[in-house]
Structure 1
Amino acid sequence: MLRVSRPPAERDRGATSRPSRARSALFLAALAALGVGIWACWSVTVDDAYITYRYTTNLADGFGPTWNPGEDPVEGYTNFLWMLWHVPWVWLGIPLPMISKLTAAACAAAIVWVLATEPRSRTGAAAALGAFVLFLPTWIHVDSGLETAPFALVVLRAVVVTARLLRDRDTVVRPAELPALFLIAGMLRPDGILAVAPPLAVWLWLRRRDRRAWTALAVAGALGGAYMAWRWSYFGHSLPNTFYVKVGVEAATDGRWIRTTLALLLPLLLLAVAGLFRRTTAPLVALALASCLALYAIPALTAPAMDYLSRFAWHGFPVLCLAAAWTLDAVGRRRLAVAGAAVAVAWTSVAGFLQPDGPTMVNYGQDLHRVHIAIGLGLADTDLPADRQTVAMSDAGAIPYFSGWRATDYIGLNDERIGHGASPTDVLLADDPTVLIATGPTPELQTTSWNTDLPTAVGDRELVAVVRARPAYYQQVYADRDVADQVRTAIERRIAEADAATDGRFDQTYSRWVTRLLGLTG
């Protein structure tokens, strides 16, 4: 029978599921560490977040969730509830990145509370908390502007609720909670239903004779079905447009994502797996690992290119932290448990900083501000007629959001034509944008990028700006010749303002980040 009793070893160590003075101190220390990390990375808002903000703004302005108002809508976001959550704040005039960061920080604080209170031993709680709050990706993903932290909290809550039932069948659980979490997860991210499916299945089995549970599931299913029906009727496709692009462009089964994730989370994974061999923890850990495996299946098979700082592995990271804590709870020898906890925290925190894209991400906000945001604001400053306010680019985030121009995303994430097989070059020639922005590793125009023949697409447009983001990352801005001077002047002014407000460095190093935090540069 799926039931877990509390082992004597836990009682002997004085563990309790209720917050004690020592546990409260652990929670406050972890919360303080989390706060310092969030502050240190506060400037980071990833370019993809501005895609969601554009859809949110168009919805708030009465155009519906669409990329270009007045055109056939395309689903270029994958976080419906997150997009919807920001709508009221547009009406209130509050900057959307601030709302995203504060919301994600609150969700991260809730995760800290769960990791402080759910383990039965202080050693387990310390391991889970230390690994979570000292992990560089935690700080970045909370500040990124995306739905990562809220989604991770939903998955963690689903696992925790079901785990409590596994420990004690008489635990009071609201009949609607698991179905509601299942619905919320699926509307936060399309793969959310996979992550919550294992806890939901176990919960249904344990509550199979409770009519209220089945009624709640039916209601959640009806709401989810209505949402899917609306999506299909509004966008015309059953899956987000990004799915069709990423499966065709990024699909890979070479094991890169698996190797990176194993190296990053090895001690936590080993501790979790070890818990499968103890009767008292096996059901709990099996539940947690099943949820993580469901989450990790898609990125493991597709090796996503946009997986900065193991973003997709982080969705299940709090669950792994808790699973490792459960295993440590059952270790009878305190010194062995403390050693295991110390290794897990040290390895995870160091591995987070050793990731190759770590230095790039901590400086990301500065680089985005002086390039993408500056270009977008410069375009918005130009006094062009509405029908000439058209731009094409591959980085479809801050530039179209801040410009407010009609935008062609020639990667295809927000273009249904390209997403379903049209040639990006043909689409650009048909749209004939006033401004075309090419991204490349050098100041010179590349021959091809994202299956696009750039020289053909650029045509006789004039080069008006080359803006450097990083040592091998440039944005080249081309404009129609009759408006080239106006576009050049506006962009140059915004770039000068951004240069004055940022640190003036291009190196992707932690020293640049720390120097800026210490106030030693502008």
Structure 2
Amino acid sequence: MLTESRGADAEPRTEWPPFRDPDAWDRRPLLVAALLALAVGVWACWSATVDDAYITYRYTTNLAHGFGPTWNPGQDPVEGFTNFAWMLWHVPWVWLGVPLPVVSKLTAAACAMAVTWLLVTSPRTWSGAVAAAGSFVLFLPTWVHVDSGLETAPFALVVLRAVLLAARLLHDRDAPVRSWEVPALLLLAGTLRPDGVLGVAPPLLVWLWLRRRDRAAWTWTGVAAVAGIGYLVGRWAYFGHTLPNTFYVKVGVDAATDGRWIQLTAATLLPLLVCATAGLFRARTAGPAALVLASCLALYAIPALSAPAMDYLSRFAWHGFPLLCLAAAWTLDAVELRRVAAATAAVVVGWTAVAGFLAPDGRTMVNYGDDLRRAHIAVGLALADTNVPADRRTVAVSDAGAMPYFSGWAATDYIGLNDERIAHGANPTEVLLADDPTVVVVTSPRPELPPSSWRTDLPRVLGDRELVGAAQMRPEYFQLVYAKPDVAPEVRAALDRRLAEARAVTDTRVDPSYGRWVDRVLGRS
């Protein structure tokens, strides 16, 4: 075949190493440009902490204050979070007084920088590195997921690192890979997310097979297995259930096998998927490509079959996104016509960047932080401001994130994510009547009370409680706050103050649009 080698891409192609020759070409300009693009994107979306992150922060805060990882101190512990290691990581920062969203964002940003570095330095050619790093740092969901407050970016880094180590061994069975590292990554992945072991399982199996005669490999795998089993047993003993509480609520609620998740993911990541799959048909890339696709399939199986809640900006597809970026780069490394490789890299980066901005919920998510501040956070701060006696500081919510976290009140989550009774079949109406919370917050598409919400008979639950305020998050998203008559005046006054304060520090607009986002970032609103 005719070959065309020029400039930075002029390298021998007798074999396919997944790790570069450090003297092949200077990667520093690309690395600097990629990190700068990542920094600008993360800065522009800095406010986008999602409501679910505050669930983890509540458990973290209770643990740091000596109550254990529990939703309501003094009550039966419930596991309403699914990211134990991430929750644990934030505990020391509570003691130091550092705001937890800042800790999350900086930690995730460091992980995203590490991913960027791997995507720039692992491919062998300029075209491959541009395709991998460019797709990653110019993808709008990357910026939002780094700033979301959740474990998404650290988890993606763990899976990527495990796959890279296995790919190194596929190229060179004698490559220096620490015997403890892959098992440690498996353990970390499993404690960051319950399904984390699925993504790391393929590289672990490859590593074990290739190092099957290495006693240290089996010893460290056994140590990780014992530690993992100990973690599971400890969870079971403490919380009383084998799976996180959220599993019992979400499985079967939104289940949909009509292919919507698959269609959206395929359309968004199409060039990356095509390039990764094409690697299966070249001898030099078949092994690593198969490894990447196996890990992605393991990660994607559950969301593909269950239409998961809170899958904003394809969050669960993003777990495998860096893997697909790298697999596409490896495929381009093996393309001998460098102009073809460069053109393909441009298409991959361009498509991925545009697809990120065209995501159905992209406009909503870039404005999410301001919207949350104006509604959920304002309500939570207002409750915290009141002088309601401690034994009556009880609230029921359906959005169990920022409102319980900022209020500090004992909270009944009537979706059931943080309530074992509801998660295991109790009727939410009966639970709320039994708890008799002082304040009930209702999520509604209008500033009027809906007849029901999450199987809850709202008129029956509310009884004589008074509507003391409505906080609008988006055009069809309101939080209606109802309080018992004897505390209603005080709650109303505190809520009015906090809502006015929120309007003063946000852009006051509720429309989800990129124009609004740009105006805010540029200081024009």
With the shorter chain as reference, the TM-score category is: over 0.9
Equivalent position of 2:327 in the other structure: 323
- Structure 1 portions without partners, runs of 5+: 1-6
Aligned counterparts of 1:109 and 1:12: Cα–Cα separation in 2: 26
RMSD: 1.4
Is structure 2 residue 75 aligned with structure 1 residue 68?
Answer: no
Equivalent position of 1:307 in the other structure: 311
Q: Compute the displacement of 1:339 (Å).
A: 1.3
Aligned counterparts of 2:453 and 2:100: Cα–Cα separation in 1: 31
Equivalent position of 1:416 in the other structure: 420
CA offset digits 1:376-411 (Å, max 9, x no partner): 000000001111100001100000000000000011
User: Is 2:16–2:285's contact at 8 Å kept on the other side of the alignment?
Assistant: no
Is structure 2 residue 524 aligned with structure 1 residue 520?
Answer: yes
Aligned counterparts of 1:237 and 1:397: Cα–Cα separation in 2: 22
TM-score scaled by structure 2? 0.96
CA offset digits 1:148-167 (Å, max 9, x no partner): 00000000000000000001
Equivalent position of 1:119 in the other structure: 123
Aligned-partner SS, 2:28: helix
Equivalent position of 1:188 in the other structure: 192
Equivalent position of 1:3 in the other structure: none
Q: Superposed, which structure 2 residues align to 1:193-272 within 5 Å? A: 193-272=197-276
Aligned counterparts of 1:12 and 1:478: Cα–Cα separation in 2: 65
Aligned-partner SS, 2:467: strand
Aligned counterparts of 1:91 and 1:206: Cα–Cα separation in 2: 44
Aligned-partner SS, 1:242: helix
User: Is 1:10–1:329's contact at 8 Å kept on the other side of the alignment?
Assistant: no
Q: Compute the displacement of 1:456 (Å).
A: 1.5
Letter matched to residue 457 of structure 1: V
Letter matched to residue 319 of structure 2: H
Equivalent position of 2:5 in the other structure: none
Aligned counterparts of 1:163 and 1:16: Cα–Cα separation in 2: 13
Aligned counterparts of 1:248 and 1:341: Cα–Cα separation in 2: 40
Is structure 2 residue 145 aligned with structure 1 residue 147?
Answer: no
Letter matched to residue 361 of structure 1: M
Of 275, 279, 292, 1:275 maps to 279
Is structure 2 residue 183 aligned with structure 1 residue 179?
Answer: yes
Equivalent position of 1:393 in the other structure: 397
User: Is 2:16–2:334's contact at 8 Å kept on the other side of the alignment?
Assistant: no
TM-score scaled by structure 1? 0.97
Aligned counterparts of 2:150 and 2:37: Cα–Cα separation in 1: 21
Equivalent position of 2:34 in the other structure: 30
Aligned counterparts of 1:388 and 1:401: Cα–Cα separation in 2: 17
CA 1:80/1:498 → structure 2, altered by over 3 Å: closer, same or farther? Answer: same
Q: Compute the displacement of 1:506 (Å).
A: 1.0
Q: Compute the displacement of 1:22 (Å).
A: 3.1
Equivalent position of 2:90 in the other structure: 86
Aligned-partner SS, 1:22: coil
Q: Compute the displacement of 1:335 (Å).
A: 1.1
Aligned counterparts of 2:234 and 2:15: Cα–Cα separation in 1: 52
Aligned-partner SS, 1:464: strand
Aligned counterparts of 1:432 and 1:17: Cα–Cα separation in 2: 67
Aligned counterparts of 2:216 and 2:506: Cα–Cα separation in 1: 56
User: Is 1:9–1:331's contact at 8 Å kept on the other side of the alignment?
Assistant: no
Q: Superposed, which structure 2 residues align to 1:39-78 within 5 Å? A: 39-78=43-82
Is structure 2 residue 429 aligned with structure 1 residue 432?
Answer: no
Aligned-partner SS, 2:228: helix
Equivalent position of 1:129 in the other structure: 133
Aligned counterparts of 2:135 and 2:79: Cα–Cα separation in 1: 36
Aligned-partner SS, 1:438: strand
Q: Compute the displacement of 1:447 (Å).
A: 1.3
CA 1:93/1:275 → structure 2, altered by over 3 Å: closer, same or farther? Answer: same
Letter matched to residue 455 of structure 2: N
Q: Compute the displacement of 1:356 (Å).
A: 1.3
Q: Compute the displacement of 1:452 (Å).
A: 1.4
CA offset digits 1:282-302 (Å, max 9, x no partner): 000000000000000000010
CA offset digits 1:72-127 (Å, max 9, x no partner): 00000000000000000000000000000000000000000100111111110000
Is structure 2 residue 157 aligned with structure 1 residue 157?
Answer: no
CA offset digits 1:179-201 (Å, max 9, x no partner): 00000000000000000000000
Q: Compute the displacement of 1:30 (Å).
A: 0.2
Aligned counterparts of 1:195 and 1:475: Cα–Cα separation in 2: 38
Equivalent position of 1:355 in the other structure: 359
